[in-house]
Amino acid sequence: MQADEMSHQAMGYDRASTIFSPDGRLLQVEYARKTIRAGSTAVGVTCKDGVLILADKRVVEKLIVGKSVEKIFQIDEHIGASASGILSDGRILVEKAQVAAQQHKVTYNSPISTETLVKDICNTKQMYTQVGGARPFGVSIMFMGVGDDSHIFVTDPTGTFFEYKATAIGEKDDEVKAILNKDYKENMTLEQALKLAMGALKKSLGSNFNIGRIDGACISSKDKVLRRYTNEELTKAAK
C-alpha cells in the first residue's frame, strides 16, 4: 500500500464516498474500481454485422448447476449486458435497465437507444457517489446494443461511461485488451469476432479455461434480436 493511501486512511478520507481527499480523490469510488478488477472477465466486440459479449461465469464448484449462474442479461430485444464486480449490485442495475427499456417502449412506442439507457444507469451510479450513508455501486456493466449501428458501452462506478469497438472488464482485462488491440478489425463478421473473443478469454484464463464456465450472446444487425450462444457454438469457436 502506498504511503499517501495509508495517510488518507489514517485521516479518515475513505470513510464515506462523499469525502474528498486533499488531492481531490473519492477513495470509496476507487475501492469500488478495485472490486471490479477482482471480478470475472467479460469481453465485448462490435463487428460489421452485429455485436457480442462473452463472459466467464467462474463456476469452480463441481456441484453448482452451471445454468443457475447468469452473466449475460437481456435488457430488451436489442440490448444485452454483462457485469463484473459485485453481481448483486449488477442485478439491481440490470433490473432497473429492464424497467427503463419497457417504460420507454410503452411511452414512446419505440425501442430505447442503447446510449439513452446507459446514461440513465450512469445517472443512478453517479448519485451514489454523493449521497451520505450509501456506498458506490461496486460493479461495472458492459452494455451491447444494435440500433442504426452496433454499440458496446462500459459503465464505471463514478457514473461515467465510454463506448468501445472492442473491450474487456474484470480480472485480467489488460491482458484481454492487449489481444483485442492487436487482432481486432472493424470489418470482422460475428463468427470471426466470436473466435477472437473466445481466443482472448481462453488465453487469459489459461489452465482454468472450460467451456462450461463461458456464457455468451450476440445481436445481429439484421434482425436486432439478442440470441444466446449454444455450447456447440462456443466449443467450435474455442478450437
- Each residue's pLDDT tens digit, 100-148: 999 999 999 999 999 999 999 999 999 999 887 889 999 999 999 999 9
User: CB atoms < 10 A from the CB of 31, how many?
Assistant: 15
Quick one: pLDDT band at residue 10, thresholds 50, 70, 90? very low
Average pLDDT over residues 32-44: 94
CA dihedral sign, ordered 82, 87, 90, 95: positive
Beta bridge partners of 51: 46, 219
Average pLDDT over residues 205-230: 94
Residue with grid cell 502506498, as numbered in its chain: 2
Contacts of 156 (CB under 8 A, 6+ apart): 33, 122, 125, 140, 162
Helix, strand, coil % over all residues of the chain, rounded to 5: 40, 25, 35
Locate 239 and state its grid cell. 478450437
Q: What is the value of pTM for the model shown?
A: 0.92
Quick one: pLDDT band at residue 6, thresholds 50, 70, 90? low
Contacts of 163 (CB under 8 A, 6+ apart): 115, 151, 152, 153
**How far apart are alpha carbons 44 and 84 in whole angstroms?**
13
Per-residue pLDDT at 3? 52
Give percent of the chain with pLDDT exceeding 90: 76
Topology (CATH level 3) of domain 3-238: Glutamine Phosphoribosylpyrophosphate, subunit 1, domain 1 (3.60.20)
Locate 231 and state its grid cell. 455450447
Helices (H), the chain: 3-10, 27-37, 87-108, 114-127, 173-183, 190-205, 231-238
User: Residues 44-59: pLDDT tens digits?
Assistant: 999 999 999 999 998 7
Which residue type, as a one-letter code, is found at position 37? R
